[in-house]
Amino acid sequence: MLKQLYIKNFTLIDTLDMEFRSGFSVITGETGAGKSIILGAIGLLLGQRADSKSVKMGTDKCVIEAHFDLSRYGMERFFDENEIEFDAEDTIIRRELTSAGKSRAFINDTPVALSMLKELGEQLVDVHSQHQNLLLNKQDFQLNVVDIIADDAKELTDYQQTYVRYQELKKEEQRLREDIEQGRQQVDFMQFQYDELTNARLSDGEQEELEQRSETMSHSEDIKTALYEAESALSGDEGGVVSNLKKAVSALQGIEHVYPDVAELAERMNSCYIELKDAAAEVSGKMDDVDFDPAELDMVNTRLDRIYELQKKYKVERVDQLLAIQEELGRKLSNIENSDEALAEIERQVSETLKDAQRKAELLTEKRRVAAGAIEKQMRERLVPLGMPNVRFEIAVEQEPLGRCGQDKVSFLFSANTSTPLQPVSQVASGGEIARVMLSLKAMISGAVKLPTIIFDEIDTGVSGKIAEQMARMMSEMGHCDRQVISITHLPQIAALGSTHYKVYKDETAQGTTTHMLMLNDEERVREIAQMLSGSDVSEAAIQNAKELLKL
């Protein structure tokens, strides 16, 4: 339930801070007073796209904040899943918009993406504006109404998962057929390519190893010369580093007993001697390893030329890419060879999944037909008191090919008179009749869906008098079931039945036009409703009439 709405620097609003109550409330005000501005602010809170022009001229930022009491609606799961702190009695959503066009959204002071704000907003508030009456033209809206009353969310989800699987298998079957057809046309060429790569006996890492061997053998003389010079410098008979270092160590060790200060130095030099002696042995060993074999070099270069040739032919740069091509060719050839079996298997899966989807679609149809009967009965019961004594309302459920929502095409058929045949409601109902149908649908749906707040924006279009009063009573009843109903209206009959009455008005100041909103007391309500009855010149008769409507 919406407890409080705070708006600052939004279009014509400087600051608005308004408390809201449970039950059935009404908002009135002259045309152009700013009721749509307040609805626009609420729309931003519900995740609608923002326009920087909405920021009041001359200010840098607008802020819209709402406090909700969700203690009776079991919404903890949303907050747990999104790791947002949950305060059931005071959930705060806020939207900030700068004049530069930057927008930020918050839930309980946690920054969130606009999509998350919209997801929560859809669970908090339903705003029914006049243009929503056009939804009666939409088949998906009509089907959604039936699904809500049928309470078939589990069955629908189960069906949709199977249907998606069926669609995936159909695509897989089509791809396989295309691969087989294409493969059969190219099988000889593919076999030649596969044999060519297979006979090459490629191995991953081979190219790098061969390139290194070729490089080494091509410079074998340079390598041997460098190794010989290194060995001579280390182990040569005259002036070799190893033998000279050994002499130095022996000299120092010979004086250790008379000059102990050289003991550590001798030890360090001896370690160096051991290390250098070992390195000299390794250098000597490598001289034996390096040997130039023209035949081996030719073999290595021939193998590399073959690898380079294949890489150029198949337009790749590495052996592992050639191996991947070989594997893919092998897979395609195997598919072609086993195509009949593979195709038969995928066809079997498609057939079984289709039967499963059809079975689940039938279950949906059964639940929808039962729900359609219940909706027809409820709608007649709701529409008769709204001035349609001869109303007929039926739901046609026709079969169509399987789709994402099943196999059912739903149409709402309507006739307000016994002499008029049933036709789609959007084609035969007048504006006032459509308003009453939509209100009845909303009242029925609200009984099945626990939505904290419902706002009706001039749903009374095209009705007046006794019918308007009956519509108000219906909205009032909706507000008695742990639900908050707010109606923006121009009709005194509806305004008089609200348990709380708000007025929106404009004020012309030296700084410009500003929109305000206030909660009316009993005396102010009398004058507001009297003005709605008689216009700007409020007569005594209008005041008395207003008191009668308010039962004061």
Helix (H, G, I), strand (E, B) or coil at 426: helix
Distance CA 209, CA 211 (A): 6
Residue 216 pLDDT class (50, 70, 90 cuts): confident
Instruction: State the pLDDT at residue 91.
Output: 94
* pLDDT tops 70 at residue 137: no
Phi-psi group of 551: left, alpha or beta (phi > 0 → left; psi -120 to 50 → alpha; rest → beta): left
Residue 131 pLDDT class (50, 70, 90 cuts): low
Distance CA 345, CA 357 (A): 18
Distance CA 84, CA 91 (A): 11
**Residue 1: closest CA among 24, 25, 22, 26:** 22
What would the two tokens of residue 42 be?
């609420």
Instruction: State the pLDDT at residue 538.
Output: 80
CATH 3.40.50.300 domain range(s) in the chain: 2-129+438-520
Distance CA 373, CA 367 (A): 10
Among 139-148, 398-407, 497-506, which is the least confidently predicted range?
Answer: 139-148
Instruction: State the pLDDT at residue 221.
Output: 65
Residues 231 and 298 sit within 8 Å (Cβ to Cβ): no
C-alpha separations of 300 from 289, 297, 303 in Å? 18, 5, 5
Instruction: State the pLDDT at residue 292.
Output: 62
Instruction: State the pLDDT at residue 50.
Output: 82
Distance CA 494, CA 25 (A): 10
Average pLDDT over residues 210-236: 76
Superfamily of domain 2-129+438-520: P-loop containing nucleotide triphosphate hydrolases (3.40.50.300)
Instruction: State the pLDDT at residue 418.
Output: 84
**Burial tier of 151 (Cβ tally within 10 Å: 0-12, 13-18, 19+):** exposed
Among 56-65, 93-102, 230-239, 250-259, which is the least confidently predicted range?
Answer: 230-239
* pLDDT tops 60 at residue 134: no
C-alpha separations of 446 from 69, 130, 425, 483 in Å? 18, 18, 21, 9
Q: What is the DSSP string of 334-362?
A: HHHHTHHHHHHHHHHHHHHHHHHHHHHHH
SS3 letters across 460-487: CCCCCHHHHHHHHHHHHHHCCCCCEEEE
Q: What is the DSSP string of 251-267?
A: HHHHTTTT-GGGHHHHH
| 322-333 b/e (C-beta count within 10 Å ≥ 16 → b) | bbebbeebeebb
pLDDT digits (tens, 9 = 90+) for 50-77: 888 889 888 999 999 999 998 888 889 8
Whole-model pTM: value is: 0.66
Residue 194 pLDDT class (50, 70, 90 cuts): very high
* pLDDT tops 90 at residue 129: no
* pLDDT tops 60 at residue 410: yes
More confident residue, 269 or 539: 269
Average pLDDT over residues 419-447: 84
Among 161-175, 221-235, 250-264, 272-286, which is the least confidently predicted range?
Answer: 221-235
Average pLDDT over residues 91-114: 92
More confident residue, 17 or 511: 17
**Residue 247: closest CA among 267, 273, 276:** 273
Question: How far is Cα of residue 519 from the mean position of the Cα atoms in its chain?
Answer: 39
Distance CA 91, CA 85 (A): 9
Q: Share the mean pLDDT of the chain.
A: 87
* pLDDT tops 80 at residue 519: yes
* pLDDT tops 70 at residue 162: yes
Task: Name the percent of the chain lying above pLDDT 90.
Answer: 42
Identify which of 353-362, 377-386, 415-424 has the greatest average pLDDT.
Answer: 353-362
* pLDDT tops 70 at residue 326: yes
What would the two tokens of residue 390 be?
């001869």
Residues 368 and 349 sit within 8 Å (Cβ to Cβ): no
Question: How far is Cα of residue 9 from the mean position of the Cα atoms in its chain?
Answer: 31
Q: CA 36, 379, 432: angle at the middle one, nearest 5?
A: 40
Residues 396 and 375 sit within 8 Å (Cβ to Cβ): no
Average pLDDT over residues 233-259: 83
Q: CA 545, 549, 552: angle at the middle one, nearest 5?
A: 90
Average pLDDT over residues 228-236: 79
Residues 353 and 361 sit within 8 Å (Cβ to Cβ): no
Residues 471 and 436 sit within 8 Å (Cβ to Cβ): yes
More confident residue, 224 or 108: 108
Distance CA 118, CA 109 (A): 16
Strands 406-415 and 392-403: antiparallel
What would the two tokens of residue 71 be?
């203690």
Residue 291 pLDDT class (50, 70, 90 cuts): low
Average pLDDT over residues 477-491: 86
Longest CA–CA separation in the chain, Å: 136
| 257-295 b/e (C-beta count within 10 Å ≥ 16 → b) | eeeeebeeebeebbeebeebbeebeebeeebeebeeeee
Distance CA 453, CA 23 (A): 10
Instruction: State the pLDDT at residue 286.
Output: 75
**Torsion (CA) 55, 56, 58, 62 in degrees, nearest 10:** -50
Instruction: State the pLDDT at residue 25.
Output: 94
Residue 228, H or E segment: helix 220-235
Average pLDDT over residues 235-249: 81
Residue 93 pLDDT class (50, 70, 90 cuts): very high
Residues 375 and 412 sit within 8 Å (Cβ to Cβ): no
Q: CA 439, 529, 500: angle at the middle one, nearest 5?
A: 60
Distance CA 173, CA 179 (A): 10
Instruction: State the pLDDT at residue 246.
Output: 86
* pLDDT tops 90 at residue 90: yes
